[in-house]
């Protein structure tokens, strides 16, 4: 089963995730559920555990090649600059042009308990930075200048209030008929 994705305003998204001490069956099941939640989302390429309310340093990603997972990740090197229209499953509908390092070296632990190092560029490097931010309770809004943030928040509020946004009460009414 998949989990509901927590959205902006949920305090779990502002909290710092704890390191995974041991790769056990519980962690493996959690990772399975994270993939299911990611694929159910339709348009996501990555998901961090806090986004489903679990304060563990885990994120999963899939750029269309392989489902991949890392535990306790950190960026150990970064270089360059790259502008990308960044989005977040926890801030649905909002995309903001943001500049961040273009390449990164990420170090972490795989599901087999072995250390992994991945050198990434552009989109993959961006998602690593974005997901590790989630593990530190940092959202896109926190990476913006005050002016950008005010504009992005206003846009997000407008998107959230728009009639095209999923309206649960509406659906419930339909079901009753």
Q: Candidates 17, 30, 88, 96: give the one binding Ni ion (CB under 5 A).
A: 88
Decide if residue 45 touches Ni ion (CB under 5 A): no
Shorter beta-carbon distance to Ni ion: residue 82 or 141 = 141
* Cα–Cα dist 44/30, whole Å: 18
C-alpha distances (whole Å) from 108 to each of 5, 75, 123, 167 are: 24, 9, 19, 39
Find the shortest distance in angstroms from Cβ 85 to Ni ion.
13
Decide if residue 96 touches Ni ion (CB under 5 A): no
Catalytic choice (36, 81, 122, 131): 131
Span interacting with Ni ion, options 18-26, 52-60, 85-93, 103-111, rule CB under 5 A: 85-93
Span interacting with Ni ion, options 5-13, 53-61, 81-89, 97-105, rule CB under 5 A: 81-89
- DSSP string computed for 20-54: P----HHHHHHHHHHHHHHHHHSS-SEEEGGGGT-
User: Is 170 noted as a catalytic residue in this protein?
Assistant: no
* Cα–Cα dist 135/112, whole Å: 21
* Cα–Cα dist 146/150, whole Å: 6
Sites of contact with Ni ion (CB under 5 A):
88
Catalytic residues: 131
């Amino acid at each position: 089963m998949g989990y509901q994705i927590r959205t902006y305003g949920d305090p779990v998204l502002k909290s710092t995730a704890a390191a995974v001490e041991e790769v056990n069956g519980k962690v493996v099941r959690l990772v399975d559920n994270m993939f299911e939640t990611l694929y159910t989302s339709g348009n996501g390429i990555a998901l961090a555990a806090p986004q489903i309310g679990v304060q563990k340093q885990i994120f999963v990603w899939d750029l269309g090649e392989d489902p991949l997972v890392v535990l306790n990740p950190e960026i150990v090197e970064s270089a360059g600059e790259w502008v990308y229209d960044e989005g977040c499953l926890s801030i649905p509908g909002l995309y903001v042009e943001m500049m961040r390092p273009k390449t990164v070296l990420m170090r972490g632990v795989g599901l087999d308990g072995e250390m992994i190092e991945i050198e990434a560029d552009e989109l993959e490097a961006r998602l690593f930075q974005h997901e590790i931010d989630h593990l530190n309770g940092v959202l896109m809004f926190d990476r913006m200048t005050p002016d950008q943030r005010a504009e992005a928040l206003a846009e997000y509020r407008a998107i959230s209030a728009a009639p095209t946004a999923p309206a649960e009460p509406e659906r419930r009414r339909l079901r009753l008929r």
